[in-house]
Amino acid sequence: MSTEVKVPVLGESITEATIGEWLKKPGEAVALDEPIASLETDKVAIDVPSPVAGVMGDTLFAIGDTVEVGAVIANIEAGSGAAAKPVSAPAANAASDSTASSGDMPPLSPSVRRLVLEHGIDPTKVKGTGKDGRLTKEDVLAAANNAPEQNAATTDSAAAAPAASGPVRREERVRMTRLRQTIAKRLKSAQENAAMLTTFNDVDMTAVMETRGKYKDLFEKKHGVRLGFMGFFTKAAALAARDVPAVNAQIDGDEIIYFNYLDVSVAVSAPNGLVVPVIRSADQMSFAEIEKTIGDFGKRAKDGTLKMDEMMGGTFTISNGGVFGSLMSTPIINPPQSAVLGLHRIEQRPVVMPNGEIKARPMMYLALSYDHRIIDGKEAVTFLKSIKDSIEDPSRLLIDL
């Protein structure tokens, strides 16, 4: 007797996905609700759990195939099955064998498997930080950086050639993930369909940094989360949007939709690319609620456990490229939204004070990209200036100025 495994409902308006990897091989034991496959959608990777305990049967699709919601992708047979085979450490030149089987490794995503072979890393000796202890690209790269003697070995058989032959020139062609394809289409669509423009300002972070320094220990002790910058900027954006509602509005055909709430999309790094979960009604949240929500999003993005509905909607986006060291950028709006606020790294720069004195101050560049069809230049500048004023004088956030 066998039980069919079907593609689950993936979320609103999402009707298909791509087989990202098979987490179980035919003949292996499968527990109830144990993930057997990973699907890549337009938004995120989703694990498909087994509906019953048994033995992994036939897989009906290959990695990279597109499957629709409700399609049968595998069968689970009755029985106890066999445990997954232990993995032996791959030799540094093992990847050069084109017949090498992924069955010699624990379940790895294609990108992680490629890195494992490329760096000659034994995946069984690396602690995974992903969901259920699975390896991420970051885990493999960290292991490679800590093993220079392994890094020196190359996975290409051409590396065995004498040094006199010169450096090895290689090319690699990798299929774009479904998520990356969607990101590419959406960003290109934003440039083609919106009259996009970016305005800049800079902000003195002294007051916010002093506030954090003064209250961070008490804040963390009381709320169990660190006080970050995003709470300040989210609150500042909420106040600014009240005065400039067009920044938090959207075009729908020949109509404009104005929202009396602020649902903030926050760009978060995930193993398969950038995902944008949404903080619902962020304008009604406390600093602690905002920081807790963002921290939870970041953790679950890394684990691959974000839900589809958590990334749907959003009326405004905040993207913090500063965490990666970006000094300045022109972020692209996230359709159908009309604006995105870009944050950047903080660095000491000389600033002329009102009394003419020059001081070194912790400065950050702010960028607001917006759809000029709905937001006028004056409105964009006013919005960004309002955020600057709130950050440079955080007491404004408390008295609603």
| 371 given a catalytic annotation | no
Question: Under a CB-based contact definition with an 8 Å cutoff, are residues 153 and 121 in contact?
Answer: no
Catalytic residue, from 58, 132, 372, 393: name it.
372
| 376 given a catalytic annotation | yes
Beta bridge partners of 270: 273
Question: Under a CB-based contact definition with an 8 Å cutoff, are residues 59 and 30 in contact?
Answer: no
Distance of CA 299 to the CA centre of its chain: 10
Question: Under a CB-based contact definition with an 8 Å cutoff, are residues 307 and 331 in contact?
Answer: no
Length of the chain: 401
Report the candidate in 318, 313, 324 with the shortest Cα–Cα distance to residue 368: 318
Q: Is 167 exposed, middle or buried (0-12, 13-18, 19+ CB in 10 A)?
A: exposed
For residues 148 and 92, give the distance between their C-alpha atoms in angstroms, rounded to a whole number: 13
Within 101-257, residue ranges assigned H as helices are: 110-119, 137-145, 148-151, 178-193, 206-223, 230-243
For residues 16 and 182, give the distance between their C-alpha atoms in angstroms, rounded to a whole number: 13
User: For the CA atoms of the chain, what is the radius of gyration?
Assistant: 25
For residues 266 and 102, give the distance between their C-alpha atoms in angstroms, rounded to a whole number: 35
Catalytic residue, from 47, 376, 389, 393: name it.
376
Longest Cα–Cα distance in the chain: 84
Question: Under a CB-based contact definition with an 8 Å cutoff, are residues 269 and 244 in contact?
Answer: no
For residues 314 and 286, give the distance between their C-alpha atoms in angstroms, rounded to a whole number: 19
The residues, any chain, with a CB within 8 Å of residue 383's CB and separated by 6 or more, are 240, 241, 243, 244, 247, 339, 368
For residues 194 and 17, give the distance between their C-alpha atoms in angstroms, rounded to a whole number: 28
Count CB-CB contacts under 10 A for residue 295: 15
Residues annotated catalytic, as ranges: 372, 376
